[in-house]
Amino acid sequence: MKKVPPSKQSIVRKERKPLEFRSIHCEFDVVSEASASVYGQFGDTKIIVAMYVCENMLLLLYGPKQSATSTDKGEFECIFKYAKFSSAERYIDSKDSVKRSFGHQIEQAFGDVILLDKYPKSLIEAHVYVIQCDGNVVSHSINCVGLALMDAGIDMKDMVTSSQTIRFKTPPSENKEETDNSNSTQQNEFVDYLDPDLLEENNVNKECGITLAVMTHSQKITLLQMKGSLEISQSKHVFQLCIQSCLSLAEILKKQMFERFKEQNEQSKQISQIFNS
């Protein structure tokens, strides 16, 4: 992968619209030893998630005395790693604080969603492995973890999806005509990009970046990360955009799960036909 240095030039998307996601492709059962596993490709960002459900693991870890005094609820943990070949920025893999931070964000996104009381003294562990990094890693890791949890049959309150939005100041050459034809200049001062790639994330001209995770049915926010500055007058518009993008992404991922369930159903029918023949 080519190195993507911080850019001072204005970003103009040519291959997709500002509010358009990159192409999405998912595969299941990519790690045979895991309780469930998902390979997700979002443009050139590629992620593997392996989900492990270890019953009575907390009893083995902490011993019977400490485990007996602790809560009967299970625990959810996320281990986040970059492959050394995932990006030209090799230093990113050596920063344990970055990996812990990303893992903690994923844990926060699902902490109040997984019904951990149904898994007493059990450990639900998500191993996230980024094999190619081209931006928006945390959001798409959350999306892959959500698919893996559903595929593993883990009980949850709601489906969780995540999206990232980056806001840029529109260059004068781009917004001059729009400003002349509009009564409001606020909407023309900025351009919002959904699902940014690495080049857009590294651009120094960005005003702010927001990563949001949402329960798709109740629309409750489970994770909010923001870098940069955002005017209060513009915050409502940006947050509504983020939430709506999460809901739109949920429909795409639901289709992926539907195809998965359809495939499993066909396989079960084939197995039953073999045994009944």
Tens digit of each residue's pLDDT (9 = 90 or more) over 248-269: 999 999 999 998 888 877 776 6
Q: What is the pLDDT of residue 273?
A: 65
Q: Is residue 182 part of a domain?
A: yes
- Who's near 105: CB < 8 A, 6+ residues apart? 138, 142, 211, 223, 225
Q: What is the pLDDT of residue 274?
A: 64
* Strand-pair partners of 42: 24, 45
Dihedral Cα 142, 147, 153, 156, nearest 10 deg: 50
Q: Is residue 148 part of a domain?
A: yes
Read off the amino acid at residue 115: L
Q: Is residue 45 part of a domain?
A: yes
Q: Is residue 234 part of a domain?
A: yes
Q: Is residue 202 part of a domain?
A: yes
Q: What is the pLDDT of residue 182?
A: 37
What domain range is 219 assigned to? 24-252
Q: For the segment 154-191, what is each residue's pLDDT rounded down to a tens digit?
A: 999 999 999 999 998 876 444 444 434 433 334 568 88
Three-state helix/strand/coil letters over 53-105? EECCHHHHHHHHHHHHHCCCCCEEEEEEEECCCCCCCCHHHHCHHHHHHHHHH
Q: Is residue 128 part of a domain?
A: yes
Q: What is the pLDDT of residue 94?
A: 47
The helix-helix angle for 137-151 and 96-111 (nearest 10°) equals 50
- What's the number of domains the chain is made of? 1
Read off the amino acid at residue 104: H
CA 143 to chain centre: 4
Q: Is residue 48 part of a domain?
A: yes
Q: In what order do the strands lie in the sheet with 221-228?
A: 190-194, 160-169, 206-215, 221-228
User: The CATH number of the domain where 147 resides is what?
Assistant: 3.30.230.70
Task: Give the number of other CB atoms < 10 A from CB of residue 271.
Answer: 10
163-184: buried (b, 16+ CB within 10 Å) or exposed (e) per residue?
Answer: bbbbbbebeeeebeeebeeeee
| pLDDT tens by residue, the chain, 277 residues | 445 555 555 567 878 899 999 999 999 999 999 999 999 999 999 999 999 998 876 555 555 545 444 567 899 999 999 988 887 555 454 456 777 899 999 999 999 999 999 998 889 999 999 999 999 999 999 999 999 999 999 999 999 999 999 998 876 444 444 434 433 334 568 889 999 999 999 887 888 999 999 999 999 999 999 998 888 888 889 999 999 999 999 999 999 999 888 887 777 666 666 656 5
Q: Is residue 213 part of a domain?
A: yes
Cα 203 to Cα 5, 10, 195, 199: the distances in Å are 8, 8, 14, 6
